[in-house]
Structure 1
Amino acid sequence: MSDAAASKPSFLPAKSWQHFVAGGLGGMCGAIVTSPFDVVKTRLQSSLFREKHLSMAANGVAYAPPRSNLLYNFVETGHIIRDIYREESPRALFKGLGPTLVGVVPARSINFFTYGNGKQIIANNFNNGQETSWVHLTAAAIAGIATGTATNPIWVVKTRLQLESSGSEGSKSALGGSWKMIRNIMRDEGIRGFYKGLSASYLGVTETTIQWVLYERLKPLSAGTDFEWLGLLGSAGAAKCVATLITYPHEVIRTRLRQPKVNGVVKYSGLVQTLRLVVAEEGTRRLYGGLSAHLMRVVPNAAIMFAVYEGVLRYGR
């Protein structure tokens, strides 16, 4: 009986836990290194940040409206980082890092675990053990939905923290600020408040799906060469860049949906309503607000994350 039980095949592939650990470590390293760009991206995506500076201009404070030129937006990102550093504090560049790490580690662990094992399970059971693009696409979509559902509350808290002014009470410690924000959301909006932007997150599954499929196609190009690790970094960065450019508007919509109430009023209430309102009030270009800061964050983030992920997997073999 014991021999039969020991020989019974497992549903999960051997060492499936390695994907969980490797994904979490990769996500943590990437998030810490690129946190300042995440803060800038969130502020540029938000209507609250834009309204704040328009109000400053009305009161006689110098304010140059953002230009639409994408290349200038990279310069603008540097200016915003400089201004946050000078006017708030160096610590402000890492606002929301606490909930980001609390979200990134399980999110990447869940995503890489579900994808890494899912593609093997799907291939073995439905495609004669062969990994093809449709196998990668299906596994990536399932992983994206599972990740988005599990971690959406953490991203809501992170977004609210990053939109808070530096002088807000409770901002002295990341943990204290996070708990205060959680209590405020629960009190004012209930459980549903933690799932704002979930529809946009599901829309964003297309980004992770495109990223995984492209990465799997690009990675073999440098396999077995002297530049394998360099090629791996390039594959991860390129895949993320292309996926982001194709699907970026969902990021702006998701940030708007997660914004707090203003004077007790919820301005953005749904996916389609938010899309129409942003286009009507601010133009189509605003759907790409914060793109430069986002690219400066996610491309190196992806390279770091996938390099750590692949390294941990190979070390554990």
Structure 2
Amino acid sequence: MSDNVAHALSGAGGGIVSMALTYPLVSISSRLQVQKNDASKDAYKNTLDAFVKILAKEGPKGLYSGLSSGIFGIAITNGVYYYCYEAVKAIFEKAKGKGKPMSTGESMLSGAIAGCAVVMATHPIWTVNTRLTVKKGVEGDEKAPQANAFSVGAQILKTEGIAGLYAGVRAALVLVINPIIQYTVFEQVKNKVSKHKTPGNLDFFLMGALSKLCATAITYPYIVIKSRMQVSQQGDEKYSSILDGFKKIIASEGVTGLYKGISSKIVQSVLSAAFLFLAKEVLFDWSVWVLVLLGARKARITAPAKA
């Protein structure tokens, strides 16, 4: 068995660690993204205001609404992504010859293929997670605290069909560029650092943070539109397409509407990516070890040094 499975397992584990550590920021950012009426008494003015209001109204549990589906979603997302990414990467490296790193174009193509696979496999999970997090489009909002991922998923299927689970999927496919930018920046920075020294845990942490900062800053308007399309919208509020979403947000909220919640999202994304890359590197050797113990792969045999 190739290292693809080990990469998938370590990527899933790293995603779980990063999601668990940063989920309150995920929750706050999602609520700010879908908020349209800033004049309301209960509206969130910024990240800190949202944090205080959620705690006051819902308690600590409010900051972790939808955590279980988020953990499940990130594990599947990262597992599928890393497996596909490493598989395509291995094909490129085999074609170029051992020891030669991928070019920027090859990194981007690998990311695009892996990203599309992830979107089609996991988008329904994130639609459910978004509705649980923002508690909008969940039948009987007053019952939202008792709702769970299965009941919300069943409700969406019943009222909206499969299309409801894939609401906003076009924006999500456009957002494939996010991990492309992220992993391309990461791979290229890693290659440059590796020329001077062997990267350590701090290096992986900083490279992960830098790569995600670049990706999130560039793609954030699409993140806002995708989140709004994933929640239940009616009448004139509903976006018929990505372009329609851009037009309606700019018309009613101005350009700043496209960047609602960006401060909490950037902090969460940067920390999440940093913890992810750090945890993945740490967990990779453990994943290989577990697979060897289970007999799923052969142990690496190191050739003895020549006298």
TM range (shorter): 0.7 to 0.9
Q: Which residue of 2 aligns with 1:5?
A: none
Matched, 1:41 2:29: yes
Aligned residue pair count: 282
Matched, 1:169 2:154: no
Structure 1: which 5+ residue stretches go unaligned?
1-12, 67-75
Q: Residues of 2 paired with 1:178 and 1:267: CA distance?
A: 23
- Distance change in 2, residues 1:150/1:89 (3 Å): same
Q: Residue 213 of structure 1 aligns to which amino acid in structure 2?
A: T
Would the aligned equivalents of 1:222 and 1:232 in 2 still touch at CA under 8 Å? Answer: no
1:222 Cα deviation from its structure 2 partner: 4.0
Other structure's SS at 2:142 match? coil
Would the aligned equivalents of 2:4 and 2:82 in 1 still touch at CA under 8 Å? Answer: no
Equivalent position to 2:65, from 95, 117, 120: 95
Alignment of 1:1-317 (within 5 A): 14-46=2-34, 49-51=35-37, 54-56=39-41, 66=45, 76-125=46-95, 127-129=96-98, 130=100, 131-164=102-135, 168-169=142-143, 171-172=145-146, 176-223=147-194, 225=197, 228-262=200-234, 267-315=238-286, 316=288
1:85 Cα deviation from its structure 2 partner: 1.1
Q: Residues of 2 paired with 1:297 and 1:213: CA distance?
A: 20
Q: Residues of 2 paired with 1:14 and 1:156: CA distance?
A: 32
Deviation digits for residues 180-210 of structure 1 (CA, Å, limit 9, x no counterpart)? 2112211110111000111001110111101
Q: Residue 113 of structure 1 aligns to which amino acid in structure 2?
A: Y
Q: Residue 37 of structure 1 aligns to which amino acid in structure 2?
A: L
Q: Residues of 1 paired with 2:115 and 2:198: CA distance?
A: 33
The runs of at least 4 consecutive aligned structure 1 residues that moved more than 4 Å come to 224-227
- Distance change in 2, residues 1:118/1:227 (3 Å): closer
> What is the TM-score with the length of structure 1 in the denominator?
0.82
Identity rate, percent:
27
1:77 Cα deviation from its structure 2 partner: 1.0
Structure 2: which 5+ residue stretches go unaligned?
289-299, 301-307
- Distance change in 2, residues 1:189/1:217 (3 Å): same
Q: Residues of 2 paired with 1:201 and 1:215: CA distance?
A: 21
